[in-house]
């Protein structure tokens, strides 16, 4: 409670073992934005504060805790890639970080890809991956980003909006001819 009342990060028990409890208690502000968020959300319970501290530190929390924080609109994202909600990010002045964590939704990525194909005519698979990579959520692993790009291509191809021509190992995508 003392850390919360002083708007400081919560203690960590990372270095604990089966036989010892090691408490790391920050005595200074680690992340000023987190402290500002606590200051602007003084009605948060200690439990909410500890759980949000874990989220902002990138640590995992139990799925039932995720459900509680999601219900209170304090976090977003799909488990285990969760991040603080837009309201919390705004209060903590973490708007840019929030946008990077969220990434663009699939429809915006599809539109961006289609616009790029209008501009360039064709794009290789590697170029499409490079185009979309940084606009997808930074909480996704490389494998998840690759799957996301594949899903976007598959969906647009199924809708007959794009077509693929593969020669050898080079896959080239273009707008579908109507």
The predicted structure's pLDDT at residue 146: 94
Q: Is the pLDDT of residue 157 over 90?
A: yes
| Domains present along the chain, CATH in parentheses | 2-102 (no CATH), 106-175 (1.10.10.10)
CA Rg value for the chain: 21
Task: Give per-residue pLDDT as tens, 106-126.
Answer: 888 899 999 999 999 999 999
> Average pLDDT of the chain?
78
**Rounded Cα gap, residues 88 and 19, in angstroms:** 37
At which residue do the structure tokens 């219900």 appear?
Answer: 71
| pLDDT bucket at 101, cuts 50 / 70 / 90 | low
Residue 14: its pLDDT value, please? 66
Across 42-91, the runs of DSSP E, i.e. the strands, are 75-78, 81-84
Rounded to 5 degrees, φ, ψ at 19 are -110, -10
Beta strands in 16-99 (DSSP E): 75-78, 81-84
* Segment among 17-21, 78-82, 150-154, 169-173 with least mean pLDDT: 78-82
């Amino acid at each position: 409670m003392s850390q919360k009342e002083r708007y400081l990060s919560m203690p960590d028990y990372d270095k604990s073992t089966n036989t010892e409890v090691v408490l790391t208690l920050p005595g200074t502000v680690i992340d000023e934005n987190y402290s500002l968020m606590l200051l602007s959300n003084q009605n948060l319970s200690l439990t909410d504060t500890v759980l949000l501290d874990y989220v902002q530190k990138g640590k995992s929390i139990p799925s039932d805790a995720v459900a509680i924080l999601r219900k209170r609109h304090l976090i977003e994202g799909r488990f285990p890639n969760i991040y603080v909600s837009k309201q919390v990010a705004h209060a903590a002045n973490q708007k840019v970080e929030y946008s990077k964590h969220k990434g663009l939704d699939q429809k915006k990525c599809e539109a961006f890809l289609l616009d790029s194909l209008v501009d360039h005519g064709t794009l290789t698979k590697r170029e499409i991956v490079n185009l979309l990579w940084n606009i997808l959520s930074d909480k996704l692993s490389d494998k998840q980003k690759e799957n996301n790009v594949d899903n976007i291509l598959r969906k647009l191809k199924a809708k007959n909006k794009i077509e693929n021509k593969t020669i050898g190992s080079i896959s080239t995508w273009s707008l579908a001819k109507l």
